[in-house]
Chains A and B, each alone.
Chain A
Amino acid sequence: MSIKTANRIRLTLSYLILLGAIAVVIYPIVWVVGSSLNPGNSLSSSTIIPENATLDHYRKLFAETEYLTWYWNTLKICFITMVLSVIFIGLTAYAFSRYKFVGRKNGLLLFLILQMIPQFVAILAIYILAFQVGLLDTHLALILVYVGGLIPMNTYLAKNYYDTIPKELDESARIDGAGHFRIFWQIILPLSKPILAVIALFSFISPFADFILASILISSDDKQTLAVGLFNMISNKFGNNFTLFAAGSVLVAIPIGLLFLSLQRYFISGLTAGGTKG
């Protein structure tokens, strides 16, 4: 067998495998788009390419469900969580990276342990606490819980990054008479933009993907987030609402998917930055 034939076999095999993988990957996506365009409520009669496609389900989604409210709620919660997380994490990590203070080592160890225990194992406690302080069924409770949960892991990420910024910069600024906060604001912050961007991205995406905390803390339909709203749509009477659900998920998947594809390299750089150093 010549090298040329061997190469041809290798390439053909590669294409076949890759095409197979692509088919498996896009089949569910194509199927759900098809379902969302299918007339009728159930899937029993649906075909992957609908014969008489209709946008009825999209119309119904806006007119008869709280879908738009869910969408708005989710974006609002994610955005506020993102802003608060970046502020809290940026400050906390700075203190851990630059100052020697009593409790620093124990604090770091505590963060390390806390980031391993998933926050939602204590759902019952979170629920009762929210109930006692009267924040049950409010977005504020959800946001506070999300921000608190994001702190331990992302503080490590930011601290590791701050550690790479030379300390000489702070010291020379201090000699020039800059105060603590000014050093942080004018020297460290501009230099740490990349990691803060990654943290912002993480803290936007993780509330978006959360199902469990939102399903417990929020009970009114008009305060629901997308994950819980869409889940209830199909779990209540499965099959009867599936085409409606399909329309709802297409409208989530497309914008978020596009946003994600344009930003995915930051995700990877963020995770590897934290990982190889961590």
Chain B
Amino acid sequence: MTHRKTAALLSIIPGLGQFYNKQWVKGSVFLFLAACYFIAFLDFLNIGLWGIVTLGTEVPRDHSIFLLVNGVISLIVVAIGLGFYVLNFYDAYQNGKKRDMGLQLNTLREQYHNVIDKGFPYLMVGPGFLLLVFVVIFPIIFMLLLSFTNYNLYNSPPNKLVDWVGLQTFIEMFTLDIWRETFISVFAWTIIWTFTATTLQIGVGIFLAVLLNQKDLKFKGLMRTLLILPWAVPAFVSILIFSGLFNDTFGAINNDILAAVGIDSIPWMTDPFYTKIALIFIQSWLGFPFVMAMTTGVLQSIPGELYEAATVDGASTWDKFRKITLPMILFTTAPILITQYTFNFNNFNVIYLFNNGGPAVPDQNAGGTDILISWIYNLTMTSAQYSKAAAVTVMLSIIIVSVALYNFRKTKSFKDEGMI
């Protein structure tokens, strides 16, 4: 039997393989770490893994949701342990291989330097990654698992146990009329909202930037600063101000502006159609300054000779815009403009702070202007439909990730990394 096989085989108990390779210090460290791991985590893992499988068996001793949390953490701990275990095998195997080939093994000093060299990137990534695991990755795994349970208001700990129900929640989403219809209408409005609001804010932004870029225009700086204000004021403040401006009874839009031109009051906050109009207007107001500022930067970098040459060739102003300005703008800013769409797809603040996703509409359990993300919030916070909220979250994440990955496949830096 070769050294590498013996060493790897002995490594079933961490450290023994290293002992076999006569690396005493390293072997002791491995053995010590393994012992610590078992002493520290054995009970926790035992309960955690039992909990995630059964979600509790006895009321009120077992709290299904806490068991689920501990279960997910146990899985993470197990994953870390397995990683270490694999490393232990790998190390014993590699050093055994060196012995098979008659090479000298690293001395302790060399091993130390090796650990520092190889370990340095992990040391740097470590703290951030650990935080990421707990506040970002853990919640996502938890929501994914939650969507396979029946956790809701009527089924909630500590009085009841939650059970695994497989794909039941997703099936109900599409078979129960009220859920299916709500999902379809919310999804449709999310798409319409994303496209109209974003396209409008981009259109207005580019249009104003081009207007402001005319050479013979005066007070450019002042006008630009004034137009950038909506971006400078924190968005949540502006949205709350708008919810006052648009208020049906005391808002200035109905009382001052529309009254002045002789139009009757419009039910901005109580009719879904008008709320949607108001929301799209508000988002354009909030979003155009960024596009405008960015476009201005691009415009200033377009060489003047291009336009002069076009003028000599007899191009009209419109031709110049369509053939020179617009392609230049879109070419340089396209990646950022795309992020504007994904931003609005998840633009919780404007929908929720303006009118809580309302007004309420009959025959569905979402407000008339709820987009997916604010619907998830309401399902969780007001109607306690936790597993449904989790199912919508999963579907939303799948949509976003697949669209975004499709987009990123085309970009350069992704290909440079050789990831596809």
> Which residues does A use to contact B, with CB under 8 Å?
7, 10-11, 14-15, 17-18, 21-22, 24-26, 28-29, 31-32, 35, 42-44, 48, 88-89, 91-92, 94-96, 98-99, 101, 104-105, 107-109, 112-114, 116-126, 128-129, 132, 144-145, 147-149, 151-152, 155, 160, 180-181, 184, 208-209, 211-212, 216, 227, 230-231, 234, 238-239, 242, 245-246, 249, 252-253, 256-258, 260-261, 264, 268, 271-272, 275-278
The residues of A that contact B203 with a CB separation of less than 8 Å are: none
Interface pairs (13), CB distance under 8 Å: A11-B217, A35-B244, A42-B250, A99-B120, A114-B137, A119-B136, A125-B143, A227-B234, A231-B236, A268-B297, A271-B294, A275-B335, A276-B332
CA distance in complex: A48, B253 (Å): 12
Docked complex Cα distance between A105 and B232 (Å): 37
Say whether B39 faces chain A, with CB atoms less than 8 Å apart: no
Which A residue's beta carbon lies closest to that of B83? Answer: A103
* A7, B414: Cα distance in complex, Å: 47
B229 touches A25 (CB 8 A): yes
Asked whether B69 lies within 8 Å of A7 as measured between CB atoms, the reply is no
A183 to B236, CA, bound (A): 42
Known interface pairs A14-B214, A121-B376, A277-B413; A152-B132 also in contact (CB < 8 Å) = yes
* B273 in the interface (beta carbon within 8 A): no
Q: For residues 109 through 139 of chain B, which have their beta carbon under 8 Å from a beta carbon of chain A?
A: 116-118, 120-122, 124-125, 127-129, 131-132, 134-139
- By a CB distance below 8 angstroms, the chain B residues around A271 are 294, 336
Known: A117-B400, A148-B132. A125 touches B125 (CB 8 A): no
How far apart are B376's CB and chain A's nearest CB, in angstroms? 6
Alpha-carbon separation in the docked complex, A160 to B348 (Å): 29
B411 in contact (CB, < 8 A): yes
Contact A121 B131 (CB under 8 A): no
Contact with A along B191-221 (1 / 0, CB 8 A): 0000000000000100010011010110000
Contact across chains for A88 and B401 when beta carbons are under 8 A apart:
no
Write the nearest CB–CB distance from A202 to chain B, whole angstroms: 13
For the complex formed, measure the closest distance between the CB of B241 and the CB atoms of chain A, giving whole angstroms. 5
With the chains together, A95 CA to B123 CA distance in Å? 9
Q: Given A26-B226, A105-B417, A264-B228, A96 and B237 touching (CB < 8 A)?
A: no
> Are the C-beta atoms of B240 and A230 separated by less than 8 Å?
yes
Contact of A116 among B139, B227, B342 (CB under 8 A): B342
Tell me the smallest distance from the CB of A73 to a CB of chain B, in Å. 15
Which residue of B has the minimal Cβ distance to A251? B237
CA distance A43 to B411 in the complex (A): 51
Q: Do B226 and A252 touch across chains, with their CB atoms under 8 A apart? A: no
- Contact of A124 with B386 in the complex, beta carbons under 8 Å: yes
Choose the segment among B7-15, B162-170, B180-188, B388-396 that binds chain A (4+ C-beta atoms closer than 8 Å): B388-396
Q: In this assembly, does B267 line the interface, its C-beta being within 8 Å of a C-beta of chain A?
A: no
CA distance A231 to B349 in the complex (A): 11
Q: In the complex, which residue of chain B has the Cβ closest to the Cβ of A42?
A: B250
| Cα(A256)–Cα(B245), bound, Å | 22
DSSP majority for the A interface?
Answer: helix
Chain B residue at smallest Cβ distance from A260: B232
Across chains A and B, which 6 residue pairs bring their CB atoms closest together, nearest first?
A122-B139, A148-B135, A125-B139, A99-B121, A125-B142, A88-B128
Contacts A24-B285, A25-B229, A31-B245 given; indicate if A107 touches B125 (C-beta within 8 A): yes
User: CA–CA, A109 to B420, complex, Å?
Assistant: 10
B341 at the interface (CB under 8 A from A): no
Interchain CA distance A238-B228 in the complex, whole Å:
29
Q: Scan residues 376-407 of chain B and give those whose CB is less than 8 A from a CB of chain A.
A: 376-377, 380-381, 386, 389-390, 393, 396-397, 400-401, 404-405
Complex Cα distance, B229 from A278, in Å, reads 28
B227: A residues at CB distance < 8 A = 18, 21-22, 25
B346 at the interface (CB under 8 A from A): yes
Say if the beta carbon of B408 comes within 8 Å of chain A: yes
Which A residues touch B125, using CB under 8 A?
91-92, 95-96, 107
Give chain B nearest CB distance to A123 CB in angstroms. 6
Q: Which residue of B lies closest to A227 (CB)?
A: B236
Other-chain contact of A101, B118, B134, B249, B342 (Cβ < 8 Å): B118
B146 within 8 Å of A (CB atoms): yes
Verify if B275 is at the interface (C-beta below 8 Å from A).
no
Say yes or no: B225 contacts A261, CB within 8 Å.
Answer: yes
Task: Report whether A122 and B285 are in contact in the complex, using a CB–CB cutoff of 8 Å.
Answer: no
* A132 and B66 alpha carbons, distance in the complex (Å): 8
Q: Which of A21, A29, A107, A148 contacts B233 (CB 8 A)?
A: A29
State the Cβ distance, A153 to closest chain B Cβ, in Å. Answer: 10
Chain B neighbourhood of A275, CB < 8 A: 333, 335-336, 339
User: Is B241 a contact of A101 with CB atoms below 8 Å?
Assistant: no
**Shortest distance in angstroms between A251's beta carbon and chain B's nearest beta carbon?**
10
Is B359 interfacial (CB 8 A cutoff)? no
Report how far A144 CA is from B268 CA in the complex, Å: 39
| CB–CB A91/B212 < 8 A | no
Check A230–B236 contact: CB distance below 8 A.
yes
Q: Are B335 and A112 in contact (CB under 8 A)?
A: no
- Nearest CB to that of A124 among chain B residues? B380
Chain A, residue nearest B226 (CB): A22
**Which residues of chain B are near A29, meaning CB under 8 Å?**
229, 233, 241
Given contacts A18-B212, A208-B234, 16 further A-B contacts (CB under 8 A): A10-B214, A11-B217, A32-B241, A32-B244, A42-B250, A95-B121, A101-B122, A109-B419, A113-B405, A119-B135, A121-B143, A155-B128, A181-B120, A211-B352, A230-B240, A277-B413
B347 and chain A: residue at smallest CB distance: A118
- A26 and B229 contacting across the interface, CB-CB below 8 Å: yes
> How many Å lie between the Cα of A121 and that of B214 in the bound state?
44
Chain B residue with minimal CB distance to A141?
Answer: B135
Compute how far the CA of A149 lies from the CA of B134 in the bound complex, rounded to whole angstroms.
Answer: 11
In the complex, which residues 302-341 of chain B have their Cβ closer than 8 Å to any Cβ of chain A? 317, 332-333, 335-336, 339
Please report the C-alpha to C-alpha distance between residue A17 and residue B120 in the assembled complex, in whole angstroms.
Answer: 58
Closest to B143 in A: A122
Shortest B20–chain A CB gap in Å is 24
Q: Does B77 contact A (CB under 8 A)?
A: no
Indicate whether A152 sits within 8 Å of B401 (C-beta atoms), given known contacts A22-B226, A121-B373.
no
Q: How far is the CA of A230 from the CA of B348 in the complex (A)?
A: 17
Minimal beta-carbon separation of B144 from chain A (angstroms): 9
- B-side contacts of A105, CB under 8 Å: 417-419
Q: Are B120 and A180 in contact (CB under 8 A)?
A: yes
Smallest beta-carbon distance B283→chain A, Å: 14
